[in-house]
Amino acid sequence: MIPIVTAEQMRALDQRTITEALVPSLTLMERAGAGIVTHIEARYPPLAGKSVIILCGKGNNGGDGFVVGRLLRRKQARIHVLLLASPDDLSRDAKTMYQRFLRSAGKSAVTSPTDAEAIQQRLATGDILVDAILGTGTSTPVTGLYRDAIEAITASGRPTVAVDLPSGLHADTGAVLGAAVRADLTVTLGLPKAGLYSGSGIDCAGTVRLVDIGIPASFVESVGSRLMLLTDRAVRAALPPRRPSAHKGTYGHLGVIAGSVGKTGAAAMAALSALRIGTGLVTAATPASANDILEAKLLEVMTLPMPETKARTFARSGLERLLAFAGARDAVAIGPGLTTHPETVELVQEFVKRIDKPCVLDADALNALAGKSSLLTECKRPPIITPHPGEMARLETEATTQSVNEDRLGTATRFARERGVFVILKGARTVIARPDGLAAICPTGNPGMATAGTGDVLTGMVGGLLAQGLAPWDAACAATYFHGLAGDLAAQHLGQAGMIASDLIQHIPHALAQTT
Ligand SMILES: NC(=O)C1=CN([C@@H]2O[C@H](COP(=O)(O)OP(=O)(O)OC[C@H]3O[C@@H](n4cnc5c(N)ncnc54)[C@H](O)[C@@H]3O)[C@@H](O)[C@H]2O)[C@@H](O)CC1
Ligand SMILES: Nc1ncnc2c1ncn2[C@@H]1O[C@H](COP(=O)(O)OP(=O)(O)O)[C@@H](O)[C@H]1O
Ligand SMILES: [K+]
């Protein structure tokens, strides 16, 4: 996992690298530029003949821009720099890189526009725009020519690559300072910045790619960041090895407690997703009269009919049987499609207190705890909960969906600490938090996943990994990552609008099999 840092932490790391590891600041800038060019080329091939317009500010972010310009010329791209400050005002390193750019490209490759119109006219001639106006040094609202430039970039509709972070974005909070660039690709330098994953940063950053500029690992470690970015390598390492001598018992038995009349699909999808993430055996317990329907839907999953209410939801009288069911499984997933029938709610509240197995609580299991989240502290083992922002708001009496979304990271980490649970707060850039306050952000996933049932898929995947013996934190991180990756693969094949939850399930094996 990669630590996510604040602007201040990044500045300190850059500084230590320069003064203690003795890497000249110009070398860092050169590495930054080279890395950015690699990512631009990967995203927009071929570069030869393309017109690239680079907008440079007066700080080191602009300095990176000049390096990008010089190196892109070697790819036979046609480069023009819009310099938004006087050359005299450039930072020391930026000035050096400006001079190197001039020596390589000549004076005609740079103009200094004085008004919005001049910027707009120039941008209209670009195939690709590079935003090197402001980086981590931004702290006050953007005004004047910088703001004109940011607005012109947005208005141009051209493919835009942001250097380090979209100009105008607060590096720590993701707040827009007056106006911010909406990039298609952000190539961030050294370590990822928190603002790229929160608030407006999610929409402004587009795809985020990271460039290693050679900050020593020991320096990075000493920052002690409490926020991590999930990486492909870390989550794959957490998966159990598939031993040649394995049998289905090796990979655990998950009990799924889900469904009611009209909502057997939720139970089916959770159960199937658990199998697709490699679980050996899955049994779904469902209200008795819905059992036959579930049997017809599922081939590989076993089912168990349970006592039901007149409304054909789980009945309170089934409590002991459900506890016995859980006791005979390696892990339990409870919640999808249960409804909030009063008897079912009562059943869930009792069940949650008494279950003594790794478990994941979702959907109506969380709704059963609405305003009563203190019950979670009575759990025998810290459960994983998978709320979307609405469910999160129901759990916390004073919160609203809006307040949750305004501070997703803060909400998830506070709740995880206070209630001693693992939280997967779903949505764009899902946040995972654990009881000790450490949190991670998931880079996978896309808006195509905003479709009925994808949450049930996640629940099954989390439960499946718990059943396979993963610790709750590992299960939560890996399930969230592969859920998002399966969603990304489904979107690649089908497009975001048309993909549905079943497509996501079908892509779980491809996500697992992918080699990166
Ligand atoms: N220090 C280093 O060693 C490295 C720095 N790098 C780059 O350097 C950037 C940070 O450089 P700087 O600290 O120079 O910061 P910036 O390049 O973000 O710019 C800060 C400059 O813009 C001005 N400014 C700030 N907010 C403004 C606003 N709202 N309107 C107008 N002007 C504003 C500041 O007064 C300052 O002069 C990073 O984002 C990254 O791109 C990279 O080259 C990697 C290495
Ligand atoms: N814009 C988005 N970007 C990434 N993931 C998303 C986005 N919107 C929704 N998702 C994911 O889709 C899933 C939706 O779950 P949920 O809201 O519980 O839906 P349902 O109840 O229909 O199953 C979550 O895992 C969430 O993170
Ligand atoms: K920028």
Of the pLDDT bands very low, low, confident and very high (cuts 50, 70, 90), residue 387 is very high
Q: Do residues 260 and 334 make contact, with C-beta atoms less than 8 angstroms apart?
A: no
Q: Which atom of ligand 1 is nearest to the CA of 132?
A: 41
User: From edge to edge, which strands make up the β-sheet containing 51-56?
Assistant: 110-111, 78-83, 51-56, 128-132, 160-163, 185-189, 207-211
Q: Is 429 annotated in some ligand binding site?
A: yes
* Residue range 2-225 in CATH 3.40.50.10260: yes
pLDDT digits 0-9 by tens, 438-496: 999 999 999 999 999 999 999 999 999 999 999 999 999 999 999 999 999 999 999 99
pLDDT of residue 248: 80
Q: What is the mean pLDDT of the chain?
A: 97
The number of the ligand 2 atom at minimal distance from the alpha carbon of 480 is 25
- Indicate the top mutation candidate among 203, 230, 388 to test ligand 2's pocket, ranked by most ligand atoms within 8 A of CB: 388
d(CA 104, ligand 1 centre) in Å = 24
Residues 8-36 have a mean pLDDT of: 97
* Residue whose CB lies within 8 A of the most ligand 1 atoms, among 61, 71, 187, for a mutation test: 61
Q: What is the pLDDT of residue 487?
A: 98
pTM for the model: 0.94
Q: Atom 15, ligand 2: which residue's CA is nearest?
A: 455
Which pLDDT score, from 0 to 100, does residue 80 have?
Answer: 98
- Looking at the DSSP bridge assignments, the partners of residue 281 are 253
- Secondary structure (H, E, C), 199-245: CCHHHHHCEEEEECCCCCHHHHHHCCCCEEECCHHHHHHHCCCCCCC
What mean pLDDT comes out for the span 352-369?
Answer: 98
Is 318 within any annotated ligand binding site?
no
In CATH, 234-238+253-513 is 3.40.1190.20: yes
The answer to whether 426 is a known ligand-binding residue is yes
Mean pLDDT of 140-169: 97
List ligand 1's pocket residues with C-beta within 6 A.
14, 25, 28-29, 32, 57-64, 91, 134-140, 142, 146, 163-164, 189, 213
Q: In sequence order, what DSSP letters do the residues of 316-380 get, joined into one string?
A: GGGHHHHHHHHHTSSEEEE-TT----HHHHHHHHHHHHH--S-EEE-HHHHHTTTT-GGGGGG-S
The C-alpha angle 304, 347, 388, rounded to 5 degrees, equals: 90
Q: 3-class DSSP state for residue 54? A: strand
As a whole-number percent, the residues of the chain with pLDDT over 90 amount to 97
3-state secondary structure 131-191: EECCCCCCCCCCCHHHHHHHHHHHHHCCCEEEECCCCCECCCCCCECCCCCCCCEEEEECC
In whole angstroms, give the CA distance from residue 351 to residue 28. 56
What value does the mean pLDDT take over residues 24-43? Answer: 98
- The pLDDT assigned to 246 comes to 87
To the question of whether residue 167 is assigned a binding role by annotation, the answer is yes
Listed by start position, the domains of the chain span 2-225, 234-238+253-513
Nearest Cα to Cα of residue 286 among 354, 334, 254, 329: 334
pLDDT of residue 278: 97
Distance CA 226, CA 217 (A): 16
pLDDT score, position 249: 84
Region 355-382: mean pLDDT is: 97
SS (H, E, C) 394-422: HHCCCCCHHHHHHCHHHHHHHHHHHHCCE
Confidence class of residue 398 from pLDDT cuts 50, 70 and 90?
Answer: confident
- pLDDT above 80 for 172: yes
Report ipTM for this prediction: 0.91
Residue 397 has pLDDT above 90, yes or no: no
Omega cis (within 30) before 387:
no
Q: Residue 242 Cα, ligand 3 centroid: separation in angstroms? A: 44
Give the binding-site residues of ligand 2, using a 6 Å CB cut-off.
388, 426-428, 430, 445-447, 449-450, 452-456, 458, 483
Residue 514 has pLDDT above 80, yes or no: yes
Assign residue 495 a region: left if phi > 0, alpha if psi is -120 to 50, beta otherwise? left
**Rounded CA gap, 324 and 320, in Å?**
6
Task: Output the CA 87–ligand 3 centroid distance in Å.
Answer: 18
Averaged over 372-378, what is the pLDDT? 95
pLDDT beyond 90 at 139: no
pLDDT band, very low/low/confident/very high, at 247 (cuts 50, 70, 90): confident
**190-239: per-residue pLDDT in tens?**
999 999 999 899 999 999 999 999 999 999 999 999 999 999 999 999 99
Centre of ligand 3 to C-alpha 442, Å, is 23
Q: What local confidence, expressed as pLDDT, does residue 422 receive?
A: 98
> What are the tens digits of pLDDT across the range 262-316?
999 999 999 999 999 999 999 999 999 999 999 999 999 999 999 999 999 999 9
